[in-house]
C-alpha cells in the first residue's frame, strides 16, 4: 500500500520529505512485526539486539561501552538493558579483573538457547516480509540506505 494511503495524506512538500515519512512509517511497521515475534520470549527488540551482540562475542564478554557502540538503537540505555536481561537469567556480568571500572557482560547458556529460538522466529518474519522484493531489490535498498548515511 502506498504511504499516501497508509497515513491518509494526499501530497507532500517534496519527494525527499515523502521518502523520509515512508522510511519512519515502514521502520515502525517492521518494528511492530518483530515485537510481536519477540513477545512470547518476554524481551524487547533492544534486549534482542544486546543478546545478538553478546552471542557474536561468545565465549568472550563485551563491556557496556562495546554494547552501546554496536547497538542499532543508539538512544537505548545498555546498562538498564543488561540489568533486565540479568534478571531474566539471559546474561551474567562481572567486574573486569584488569580494569575494575569495566563491567564484562556474558551471554548465558539459557540466553543462547532462548536467542536461538527467538532468532529463528524473527528471521522467518523478516524473510516473509522481504519476500515481496527480489534479492537484487533488497541489495539495492540496502545500498540506498548506506548512501543516505554517507
Contact indicator for 105, 61 with CB cutoff of 8 Å: yes
pLDDT higher for 98 or 27?
27
Place of cell 533486565: 84
pTM: 0.90
Q: Taking all residues of the chain, what is their mean pLDDT, rounded to a whole number? A: 95
Instruction: Please determine, for residue 100, whether its predicted confidence score (pLDDT) is greater than 90.
Output: no
Overall average pLDDT of the 4-18 stretch: 94
Share of the chain above pLDDT 70, in %: 100
Q: From its phi and psi, is residue 89 left (phi > 0), alpha (psi between -120 and 50) or beta?
A: left
Overall average pLDDT of the 76-96 stretch: 94
| Residue 136: band (very low, low, confident or very high) from pLDDT cuts 50, 70, 90 | very high
Place of cell 562475542: 57
Backbone angles phi, psi at 102, to 5 degrees: -95, 130
Instruction: Please determine, for residue 75, whether its predicted confidence score (pLDDT) is greater than 90.
Output: no
- Residues in CB range of 122: below 8 A, 6 or more apart: 34, 37, 38, 48
Overall average pLDDT of the 55-65 stretch: 95
| Residue 76: band (very low, low, confident or very high) from pLDDT cuts 50, 70, 90 | confident
- Residues in CB range of 64: below 8 A, 6 or more apart: 78, 79, 82, 103, 105
Q: Which domains does the chain have, with CATH numbers?
A: 43-130+137-149 (1.10.10.10)
Instruction: Please determine, for residue 99, whether its predicted confidence score (pLDDT) is greater than 90.
Output: no
Residue range 31-48, pLDDT digits in tens:
999 999 999 999 999 999
CA atoms of 103 and 53, how far apart (whole Å):
15
Amino acid at each position: 500500500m502506498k504511504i499516501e494511503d497508509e497515513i491518509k495524506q494526499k501530497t507532500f512538500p517534496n519527494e525527499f520529505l515523502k521518502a523520509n515519512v515512508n522510511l519512519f512509517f515502514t521502520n515502525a511497521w517492521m518494528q511492530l512485526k518483530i515485537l510481536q515475534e519477540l513477545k512470547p520470549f518476554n524481551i524487547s527488540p533492544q534486549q534482542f539486539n544486546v543478546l545478538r551482540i553478546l552471542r557474536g562475542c561468545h565465549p568472550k564478554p563485551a563491556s557496556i561501552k562495546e554494547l552501546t557502540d554496536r547497538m542499532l538503537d543508539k538512544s537505548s540505555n545498555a546498562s538498564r538493558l543488561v540489568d533486565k536481561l540479568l534478571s531474566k537469567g539471559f546474561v551474567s556480568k562481572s567486574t573486569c579483573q584488569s580494569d575494575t571500572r569495566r563491567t564484562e557482560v556474558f551471554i548465558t547458556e539459557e540466553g543462547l538457547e532462548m536467542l536461538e529460538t527467538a532468532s529463528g522466529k524473527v528471521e522467518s518474519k523478516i524473510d516473509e516480509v522481504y519476500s515481496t522484493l527480489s534479492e537484487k531489490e533488497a541489495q539495492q535498498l540496502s545500498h540506498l540506505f548506506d548512501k543516505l548515511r554517507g
